[in-house]
Amino acid sequence: MRILKTVGLKKYYNKDANQVKALDGIDLEINEGEFVAIVGTSGSGKSTLLHMIGGLDRATSGEVTVGGNDIFRMNDEALTIFRRRNIGFVFQNYNLVPILNVLENIMLPIELDGNQVDQQFIKHIIQTLGLHDKLESLPNHLSGGQQQRVAIARALATKPAIILADEPTGNLDSKTSQEVIGLLKVTSRQFNQTIMMITHNEEIAQLADRIIRIEDGKIVGGHES
């Protein structure tokens, strides 16, 4: 089942001689349960692509459909609600709320939406990610790897259509990076969770099911891992 599709996705900045084509016609499909890595050099457009897919920015032209919903046809309020319910984010800098403990951070997107909490599912996530003994800890008492585990748990908590991970190992050492990517892969398989990961690290990318390469705002290659 297809979860994500982009058609002719473009993002241009400025005009005329100063025009920058951050994305220049991206056609992409990702199926349910896939763990896909998007790789490219700095400035290739990979983070811009993630922001478009996540509804964090509007495209110059083109379409993004998530779970069959064209996100650019939504107004800002509807898009905010849709994003909270259907798109999970894992950022390089974790983006945890410092005054909330681990459990509160994980539960935050569910509580913001006022939804019923699936306690068994949350418990399963916590056990899978090895966070059961850290639930009362504040983020500044955790290592970088532990904070990223919390960010992954928070992203999974709402059972989103897709998780977007932006350089999730960028602030971690090599060993911890391997552990975090291993956990992303485990959660993809265990929860049939679709994950799209942006990375410049070729070694990390090799752990994904599929690698898509982007340069100068265009897809230049992709293969099955």
The chain-wide mean pLDDT, for the chain, equals 92
Cα–Cα–Cα angle for 149, 154, 201, nearest 5°? 50
Tell me what percent of the residues of the chain surpass a pLDDT of 90: 80
Rounded to 5°, the CA angle 190-192-195 comes to 105
Query: Is 206 a residue whose pLDDT tops 80?
Result: yes
Is it the case that residue 128 has pLDDT exceeding 80?
yes
What is the H or E stretch that residue 203 is in?
Answer: helix 202-205
pLDDT digits (tens, 9 = 90+) for 130-183: 999 999 999 999 999 999 999 999 999 999 999 999 999 988 998 999 899 999
pLDDT at 225: 42
pLDDT at 224: 47
Locate the domains of the chain by residue range. Answer: 2-224
* C-alpha to C-alpha distance for 9 and 152, rounded to whole angstroms: 27
Mean pLDDT of 4-12: 96
The pLDDT value recorded for residue 132 is 93
Residue 194: the pLDDT is 96
What is the distance between the alpha carbons of residues 93 and 141, in angstroms, rounded to a whole number? 15
Give the tokens for residue 121.
């599912």
- The size of the chain, in residues, is 225
Better pLDDT: 9 or 14: 9
Q: Looking at the predicted structure, is the pLDDT value of residue 223 above 60?
A: no
Which pair of tokens denotes residue 185? Answer: 């892969």
The answer on pLDDT for 222 being more than 90 is no
pTM greater than the 0.85 cutoff: yes
Q: What is the DSSP letter of 26?
A: E
pLDDT tens digits, one per residue of 86-112: 999 999 999 999 999 999 999 998 988
Q: Specify the fold of 2-224.
A: Rossmann fold (3.40.50)
Answer positive or negative: Cα dihedral of 179, 185, 188, 190: negative
Cα–chain-centroid distance for residue 222? Answer: 19
